[in-house]
Amino acid sequence: MKSRNLRLVIGVLISAVFIWLALRGLHLPDVWVSLRSADYIWLIPSIAVYFLAVWARTWRWDYLLRPMKQIPLRRLFPVVVIGYMGNNVYPFRAGELLRAFVLRQQEDVSMSSSLATIVVERVFDGLVMLLFVFVALPFAPLPSDTIRMVVIGGSVVFLGALLVFFAVAAVPQRFMTLTEWFANRLLPERFRVPIIDFAARFIVGLAALRSGRGLVMIFLTSVVIWLLETVKYWFVMHAFDFSVSFFALMLMNGVVNLATTLPSAPGYIGTFDGPGIAVLTLYGVDAAIATAYTLTLHAALWLPITLLGIYYMVRIQMTWADIGRAVDAGRDDGGDGVAMETDTPNDAGIPEHEVTH
């Protein structure tokens, strides 16, 4: 079985488990009643707030990209939207590769460097999700074992990744020396130059982490982004016959987005819905209403940005076949062999001959 198909099968199986856990014992006609009685006018402000959050994401990415290239937000916003559309229609967050690929095609920025900035985004997103969980836990009726698993597991992953990035950004030359030693002694000859080149370009993408001001800006912007997303949860809640605190919605937001880091079917089917329903039922929300709300919220998060992403994709004359090739090539070689070559500005302190072919 091809690796692409294997990844899809694994994701579908994980999604199926989450869906089964969420729907077992549920009376589906009650869910339909809740969906029919919802006041969908509340989706309008929720979608508006969501796109405000997407604009904030665009600004954050622009901040991370500035050491490489200054790109106007109006040109960067469509790239971000296409990337999130890709996350919604391809498994394993393949939209992140797509975003880096489109940026390379449109703005001539190295995929390896832009992928580093995207990974930094994801680490800060994970840290903010953990912060939301910490803030909301004192108000949450959750078992202590569940709390411990979420906090310890998430903290190890995201704090560990952040520390590694800090170290690499602080001493890039030492990291490159270690990479060259590893590549020259342990890898076949045909892999050595690509690995060393990828590492050098990746370091360039971490340039924003070298200043305290940069760290504060990225963190605060991440907090604003996820607070705006929680406001979207709050607006959608008003469409249904239940009410929980903003802290409860912060916890739901944190838990479902940590869960969606797991492999799943395209669109985070199951990994978003199952944990979301579980959190609300722990707060005493009727299971049918919690299910109707979570499904509606998921659709309101998925559909608008997917449609806008398709619009931007058509506008730049990109086909679905192009996207598939970009994603596969990005997974195979780090992306810098997918399209035209580019000379990335050397802000990493690496000798020039090591960052270009």
Per-residue pLDDT of 130-178, as tens digits, reads: 888 888 877 777 654 555 565 667 667 777 777 887 787 778 888 888 8
Per-residue model confidence (pLDDT) at position 159? 74
Which amino acid would we find at residue 322?
D
How much is the pLDDT for 329?
Answer: 60
Q: Does the pLDDT of residue 122 top 60, yes or no? A: yes
Q: Is the pLDDT of residue 354 over 50?
A: no
pLDDT reported for residue 263: 81
Domain ranges of the chain: 3-338
Please tell me the predicted confidence (pLDDT) of residue 150.
59
Contacts of 332 (CB under 8 A, 6+ apart): none
Where is pLDDT greater, at 291 or 189? 291
With vertex at residue 255, the alpha carbon angle to CA 223 and CA 26, rounded to the nearest 5 degrees, is 140
Cβ 161 vs Cβ 118: under 8 Å = no
In 3D space, the residue among 51, 48, 123 whose CA is nearest the CA of residue 84 turns out to be 51
* 44-73 average pLDDT score: 95
Tokens 């002694």 belong to 185
Query: By C-alpha distance, which of 289, 235, 243 is closest to 34?
Result: 289
**How confident is the prediction for the chain on average, in pLDDT?**
83
Q: Is pLDDT at 352 greater than 50 in this prediction? A: no
**216 C-beta neighbours (distance < 10 Å), count:** 10
CA–CA separation, 286 vs 276, rounded Å?
A: 13
Q: How far is it, in rounded angstroms, from Cα 112 to Cα 97?
A: 10
Per residue in 246-293, pLDDT (tens digit) is: 999 999 998 898 888 888 888 899 889 998 998 999 899 999 999 999
Residue with structure tokens 């309008």? 44
| Mean pLDDT, rounded, for 90-110 | 89
Report percent pLDDT > 90 for the chain: 41
- pTM, to two decimals: 0.80
What is the predicted pLDDT for the residue at 43?
A: 98
